[in-house]
Amino acid sequence: MDAIDLILAKRDGGRLTDEQIDWFIQSYTGGAIGDEQAAALLMAILFRGLDAAELARWTQQMIASGTRADLSALPRPTVDKHSTGGVGDKISLVLVPLVAACGAAVPQTAGRGLGHTGGTIDKMETIPGWRSGLSPDDVVRILGDVGAVIGAAGPDLAPADGKLYALRDITGTVESIPLIASSIMSKKIAEGTGALVLDVKVGTGAFMKDLARAGELSEVMVGLGAAHGVHTTALLTQMDVPLGRTAGNALEVTEAVEVLAGGGPSDVVELTLALAREMLELVGLEVDPADALADGRAMDTWRAMVRAQGGDPTAALPTATEVEVIPAPASGTLARLDALAVGVAAWRLGAGRARKEDGVSAAAGIVWRATVGDAVTAGQPLLELHLDDPSRLPSALAALDDAIEITSDPVPPPQLILDRVQ
């Protein structure tokens, strides 16, 4: 075969055969096809798309480029959750131990943050001693003992996706729905879970800004899950307003632990329970996850999971050396707290990274003392900017210039769950 044949076929609106897809994924992953021809094919796919059969085969080959974990020997049903990324999204930190406490095994493969969206691995690494690098045997052992794992993807997990994602990132082809769907689902299917709930964020702080497009992505991913034997549903959730009251690595771990202890912000609790119920329903467990939060079982599982991965759940977390307070500019109701602006500001304070190889600050981030729908009084502390490097403050403040709106009229809190796809 020749790469130019595939490029021309897709450019002209044709479909790729199974043999062509197999050859391309194997050859590009193995280095036999150069970036320039692979980029041309990705651009053709961006404009022409992939039909359901093409996409299922494409995803299958991405999975086959590495190893698919076998968790069938576990005594518990397996289920995981994936979020498309948002601001203040610490849901996984609560959800994984909570669902495990209800009787499932949750083998969560998580990632690091990039840009204004945080990463679960960065957050967990603020816990002294905790490690994300686990062998397949470690994962199976911890799932058997505890029921919950949060780990980084190993090099054998859909390695084709690593190459293709890096190329998409520099060729303007990231937003292709078939390529997004295959990227997400190849890794999740390869981790060996039997069921999956997708949290597809929609709004200013999300990758998907538009509800219709987010719905299309959700339908494609749910279909891919079904095609590969993984029971999948999706919730479309708002990301115009950041979740909870914190954005930043150690700050979000602290907030997650508050939720596990039975407190924490109501929106984090509500969304966590909604996702937990979806996960438990998919695997046939008739358990109310609210009970596991209230009676301490979820907290016990969190502590056991952290210890099993080398961490100390009782250790103090890093704190910032400086805190800059921004007061409310007027009295009234907080009508807008822009998720993108908050995320960019936290990133500029050091909580995020511009490139995958950049480091992050464990302590940097933002705390907001009110959210949309809350009454505020002029002069009260509204935002706290946590940082270790004072030179970062001006650019973070600039990001927040138009982030807040206060009105004299009542404002309802944002609707968390916008739609469901199954």
Instruction: Walk along the chain (422 residues) in steps of 10 and give the mean pLDDT of each run.
Output: 96 97 97 96 97 97 95 96 95 98 96 85 97 94 97 91 90 92 95 97 94 97 96 98 98 98 97 98 98 97 98 98 97 98 96 83 98 98 97 98 96 96 96
User: Which is catalytic among the residues 10, 112, 187, 392?
Assistant: 187
User: Whole-angstrom Cα distance, residue 74 to residue 384?
Assistant: 45
> Is 163 among the catalytic positions?
no
Amino acid code (one letter) for 294: A
> Is 392 among the catalytic positions?
no
Crossing angle, helix 297-308 and helix 249-260, to 10 degrees? Answer: 140
User: Which is catalytic among the residues 10, 82, 116, 386?
Assistant: 82
> Is 183 among the catalytic positions?
yes
At residue 400, what are phi and psi to the nearest 5 degrees?
-95, 5
All structural domains of the chain with their residue ranges? 3-49, 80-308, 322-407
Q: What pLDDT, on a 0 to 100 scale, did the predictor assign at position 355? A: 77
Superfamily of domain 322-407: Pyrimidine nucleoside phosphorylase-like, C-terminal domain (3.90.1170.30)
Neighbours of 103 (CB within 10 A): 17
Q: 319-357 b/e with 16+ CB inside 10 Å = b?
A: ebeeebebebeeebbbebbbbbbbbbbbbbbbbbbeeee
pLDDT in tens, 280-325: 999 999 999 999 999 999 999 999 999 999 999 999 999 999 999 9
Amino acid code (one letter) for 266: S
Fold of 80-308: Pyrimidine Nucleoside Phosphorylase; Chain A, domain 2 (3.40.1030)
Token pair 């919950």 is at which residue?
A: 148
User: Whole-angstrom Cα distance, residue 203 to residue 272?
Assistant: 19
Asked if 129 and 316 count as a contact pair (C-beta separation under 8 A), the reply is no
Is residue 37 classed as helix, strand or coil in its secondary structure?
A: helix
Query: 332-337 and 375-376 as β-strands: parallel, antiparallel, unpaired?
Result: antiparallel
User: Which is catalytic among the residues 89, 122, 161, 267?
Assistant: 161
Q: What pLDDT, on a 0 to 100 scale, did the predictor assign at position 267? A: 97
Q: What pLDDT, on a 0 to 100 scale, did the predictor assign at position 153? A: 86
276: alpha, beta or left? (left if phi > 0; alpha if psi -120 to 50): alpha
User: Whole-angstrom Cα distance, residue 4 to residue 36?
Assistant: 11
CATH top class, domain 3-49 = mainly alpha
User: Which is catalytic among the residues 83, 183, 186, 361?
Assistant: 183
